[in-house]
Amino acid sequence: MKIIKGNAEVRKAARDYENYSSDLQGDLDVRDYKQLPLEVDPPDHTLLRDLLNPWFSKDAVNQHSAEFRTLATSLIDSFTDEVEITRDLALKMIVQCLGVVFGRPQDVEEWFSWGPDTWITDEDGIRHGDHLDRYLKKTFEDLDENPTTDLFGVLNTAEISGRPLTRKEKYGMANLVLAGGRDTVVKLISGCLWHLANNSEHRKILKSNAELIPDFISEMVRFLSPLPMMHRVDVQETDDAAQPKYAWLSFISANQDETAIADPKEIKLDRGANPHLGFGYGRHSCIGMHLAQLEAKIVLEIWLSKFSSWEVLPESELFFDFEEYNFIPSRFHKLKLKLIS
């Protein structure tokens, strides 16, 4: 498996779509369409991404701040003694925020029922996507009957290059905006509260200096690298398009590269410039980065205004299985906190 590592090297490859192409389809076990605009190169990439931009720009997302604040306050106010963060705070917050941003609050309960990963993994470790297929089919059929102006309603009638989107393109866009900001943001919010549980100095500083929270969030995106690697078709190594050879862009290695980031193993509140690639780089860089950062910022502001001290309970289930970077949590299956003061 070819893995491209290092901050400068990953940046270079992420820009070079002619040699490292996104024209591929992942998750063959659970879907038969591309996630868009992720799995396509320009010019279609640009056209499809332009359809989503108005919903995800910084200004568009910031317009929802007050509503996000109300949602976070109501969740956090209900916690008294112990709380499981991944589902009862992070996932609940995220799906409700998606309901606001997409204009589809009626779907929030169903999105929550899927859990953090979009795909449902059964007891044998097999992933399933039928629930999502059923949801997408029903949603776009309903929209054909009853047009709306919410995000999926707009995608349903959108055109690129003078033609309507195909059914699979609509599924691919809707799927990605539902999937991209779930386990990643769960990891970010859980990771922030996990770190602060263990670091009383950072807790105190952030509690009395809320203006430092955005930089702390950037630093946690760097440290956690919630999306550690993504693949591309290695064009030069691929002879047969039906059997592509892949190269992996290691965002986690870029974020732990000491030639770009001083003392990368440390979580610093005063890092200043932070050239991390936690949200990727180049034309495919994360379209949801403003949304993810706003969700985490509002949760942390409200959490820190209410609590001063908390600890991680032993029944929490954290995994550290990034081989080379086994000091970074790879997954928060359960993060149970005891609230102390």
Interface contacts to ligand HEM, rule CB under 6 A: 37-38, 49, 176-177, 180-181, 184-185, 188, 221, 226-227, 230, 251, 278-280, 284-288, 291-292
Q: Which is nearer to ligand HEM, 140 or 246 (CB)?
A: 246
Q: Which is nearer to ligand HEM, 260 or 286 (CB)?
A: 286
User: Shortest approach of ligand HEM to residue 13 CB, angstroms?
Assistant: 10
Q: Give φ, ψ of 212 to 5 degrees.
A: -85, -5
Q: Which is nearer to ligand HEM, 140 or 204 (CB)?
A: 140
Q: What is the phi-psi region of residue 27: left when phi exceeds 0, alpha when psi lies from -120 to 50, beta otherwise?
A: left
Q: Where are the beta strands (DSSP E) in the chain?
A: 2-4, 20-21, 82-84, 120-121, 127-128, 159-160, 163-164, 229-234, 246-250, 310-312, 317-319, 331-334, 336-339
CB distance 290 to 61 below 8 Å:
yes
Q: Which is nearer to ligand HEM, 197 or 221 (CB)?
A: 221
User: Shortest approach of ligand HEM to residue 187 CB, angstroms?
Assistant: 7
CA gap 56, 101 in Å, rounded: 8
Q: Which two structure tokens, joined as six digits, stand for 180? A: 């991209």
User: Shortest approach of ligand HEM to residue 99 CB, angstroms?
Assistant: 12
CB distance 335 to 85 below 8 Å:
yes
Q: Which is nearer to ligand HEM, 15 or 208 (CB)?
A: 15
What are the residues whose beta carbons fall under 8 Å from the beta carbon of 286, sequence distance 6 or more?
Answer: 180, 227, 279, 280, 292
User: Shortest approach of ligand HEM to residue 47 CB, angstroms?
Assistant: 11
Q: Which is nearer to ligand HEM, 247 or 337 (CB)?
A: 247
Q: Which is nearer to ligand HEM, 301 or 313 (CB)?
A: 301
CB distance 335 to 341 below 8 Å:
no
User: Shortest approach of ligand HEM to residue 123 CB, angstroms?
Assistant: 28
Count CB-CB contacts under 10 A for residue 274.
15
CA gap 132, 136 in Å, rounded: 6
User: Shortest approach of ligand HEM to residue 145 CB, angstroms?
Assistant: 26
User: Shortest approach of ligand HEM to residue 103 CB, angstroms?
Assistant: 13
